[in-house]
Amino acid sequence: MTVMTYRDALTQALREELTRDDRVFLMGEEVAQYNGAYKVSKGLLDEFGPMRIVDTPITELGFAGIGVGSAMVGLRPIIEFMTWNFALLAIDQVVNAAAKMLYMSGGQFPMPMVFRGPNGSALQLSGQHSQAWESWLAHIPGLKVVTPATPADAKGLLKSAIRDDNPVVFLEGEMLYNTKGEVPEGEYTIPLGKAELKREGDACTIVAHGKMVLVAMQVADALAKEGIAVEVVDLRTVRPIDVETIANSVRKTNRAVVLEEGWEICGVGAQVVDFIQRECFDDLDSPVLRVHQEDVPMPYAKNLERAAKPDAPKAIAAVKKVMYLA
Cα–Cα distance measured from residue 166 to residue 110, given in angstroms and rounded to the nearest whole number = 6
Task: Choose, by CB under 8 A, the member of 124, 166, 179, 218 that binds other proteins.
Answer: 166
- How near is the Cβ of 5 to other proteins at its closest, in Å? 27
- How far, in Å, CA of 90 to CA of 116, rounded? 12
Residue 93 interacts with other proteins (CB under 8 A): yes or no = yes
Residue 301 to residues 53, 158, 264, 304, Cα–Cα distance (Å) = 38, 34, 22, 5
From the list 7-15, 207-215, 282-290, 302-310, the region that binds other proteins by CB under 8 A is 282-290
Residue 169 in contact with residue 132, Cβ under 8 Å? no
Q: Is 95 helix (H, G, I), strand (E, B) or coil?
A: helix
Long-range contacts of 295-301 (CB under 8 A, 24+ apart): 295/263, 295/264, 295/265, 297/127, 298/121, 298/125, 298/126, 298/127, 298/130, 298/131, 299/126, 299/127, 300/124, 300/126, 300/127
Binding mask 105-134 for other proteins (x = CB under 8 A): xxxxxx-x----------------------
Region from 38-46, 93-101, 115-123, 206-214 binding other proteins, contact rule CB under 8 A: 93-101
Segment contacting other proteins (CB under 8 A): 104-112, 149-157, 215-223, 300-308? 104-112
3-state DSSP call for residue 287? coil
Quick one: 142 or 299, whose CB is closer to other proteins?
142
Q: Would you count residue 65 as binding other proteins (CB under 8 A)?
A: yes
User: What residues act catalytically?
Assistant: 60, 129
Minimum gap (Å) between residue 72 Cβ and other proteins: 5
Query: Could you say which DSSP state residue 131 is in?
Result: B
Applying CB under 8 A, the residues found at the interface with other proteins are: 21, 25, 51, 56-57, 59, 61-77, 92-93, 96-97, 101-110, 112, 141-142, 144, 160, 163-166, 254, 281-286, 324
